[in-house]
Amino acid sequence: MSKHPDLSFLREDTRIILSGRDPYRYGGSVNPPVYHVSTVLAESIEQLNSRDYLEEKGVQEMAYGRKGTPTSWALENAVAELEGGYRCLTYSSGLGAVTVALLSFLKAGDHLLMTDSVYAPTRKFCNSVLKRFGVETTYYDPLTGADIRTQLRPNTKVVFTESPGSHTFEVQDIPAIAEVAHAHGVKVLMDNTWASPLFFKPFEHGVDVSIQAGTKYIVGHADAMLGTVSTTKEAWHELLDCTGYLGQCSGPDDLYLAQRGFRTLAVRLRQHQTSALKLAEWLQGRPEVTQVLYPALPGAPGHEIWKRDFLGASGLFGIELEPCSEEALVEMLNGMRLFGMGYSWGGYESLLIPTNVQKFRTVVPWRFEGPLLRIHIGLEDVEDLKDDLNDGLKRLRNYCG
Ligand SMILES: *Cc1c(COP(=O)(O)O)cnc(C)c1O
């Protein structure tokens, strides 16, 4: 792929349109072609032999399907550009991206510090595979900042962060954690899915390796699975090597869908944010609701750090309800007309699910008594969403009597 134009003097909405694209290389086609390829033929033995050298130099030339194609580079270069990393690689799912990132920076005998608010499958990976390979994980209070110092051990190699947590929405003090970690030669990894590459710039806050479940906002249409990992220049080779050893890559059509979704991320996110804030404010005033966990909401937990470090908020937040019976909750959820029930988020559609936090936490017990719901505000008309929620809360209250 030819060299990128310098986009650094342009604003973000323009950069997200231009980054990773090179239309005139492909006959003027606005979108990159989808390369379905495993074997890449060389025209001469010299060309075949030159590939290892080019790969080592980081030149994006096709050598073999698994090692990258113009389809994967279009997305990877765009995500690296917008997230602010040196380079980026893509994986078959967000969880795939998490596991490769962890394996890239850990070995037998190492110690990993993991936030207690982490995405549950990440926790399972640490407690099973990493444990089996001799890496010890201890969990820490997500609200720990510089105090992370007290948890470091001589063999600590990685502090893993996720901010905010995707069920409990604690906003972590990433700069404080990063400062302590770096002073001890420890790498900071972050699951940055909630904010997407646009609303939190991990590398400006000391993160070394940033992970996205591209399945969520990057794909944005609930029709493909994908993960990305971006790194600093210093961390790049460890990720690149480990990805190669593990044989990770993604399918061309999923990569294409993800880069296509990425072009409209800025406008979609603004709408998710506007609608989510409106509904979060409205929910905060409801008698059935004890607390709204949306960092963008003034007064909500984590709002101050969110305001300091983030550039915006996505459409995912939590609501804690007044204690009520299981039956009342069932009545509310089964009757929703617009909010679907299902895992994942970041698509154009609204979702509402109950979440069982207590099952996973090991360090900081969850303090709430009432049920916790996780809500994703999609791109529907916000008044229709409000009507649906209003009716749902009425069912809840009527059933509770
Ligand atoms: C969904 C999710 C993942 C995993 O992504 P998949 O593409 O579903 O594997 C990782 N981290 C967070 C915060 C997520 O929400």
Choose the catalytic residue: 216, 260, 263, 374. 216
- Residue 243 Cα to ligand 1 midpoint, Å, equals 18
Ligand 1 mean position to 121 CA, how many Å? Answer: 8
Over its C-alpha atoms, the chain yields an Rg (Å, rounded) of: 22
401 residues of the chain, pLDDT tens digit each: 444 568 889 999 999 999 999 999 999 999 999 999 999 999 999 999 999 888 888 899 999 999 999 999 999 999 999 999 999 999 999 999 999 999 999 999 999 999 999 999 999 999 999 999 999 999 999 999 999 999 999 999 999 999 999 999 999 999 999 999 999 999 999 999 999 999 999 999 999 999 999 999 999 999 999 999 999 999 999 999 999 999 999 999 999 999 999 999 999 999 999 999 999 999 999 999 999 999 999 999 999 999 999 999 999 999 999 999 999 999 999 999 999 999 999 999 999 999 988 788 889 877 778 899 999 999 999 999 999 999 999 999 998 76
* pLDDT in the model for residue 320: 95
Domains of the chain in sequence order = 12-263 (3.40.640.10), 265-400 (3.90.1150.10)
State the Cα–Cα distance between residues 261 and 254, nearest whole angstrom.
10
CB of 126 closer than 8 Å to CB of 191: no
For residue 292, the cross-strand partners are 319
> Of all protein residues, whose CA lies closest to atom 7 belonging to ligand 1?
94
| Ligand 1 centroid, distance to 226 Cα (angstroms) | 9
Q: Is 191 a catalytic residue?
A: yes
Identify the pLDDT of residue 400: 77
pLDDT of residue 2: 43
Measured at the CA of 182, the angle between CA 178 and CA 188, to 5 degrees, comes to 50
* pLDDT at site 56: 85
Q: What is the pLDDT of residue 401?
A: 60
Active-site annotation holds for 141: no
Strand order through the sheet with 316-321: 289-293, 316-321, 372-376, 351-354
99 Cβ below 6 A of ligand 1: no
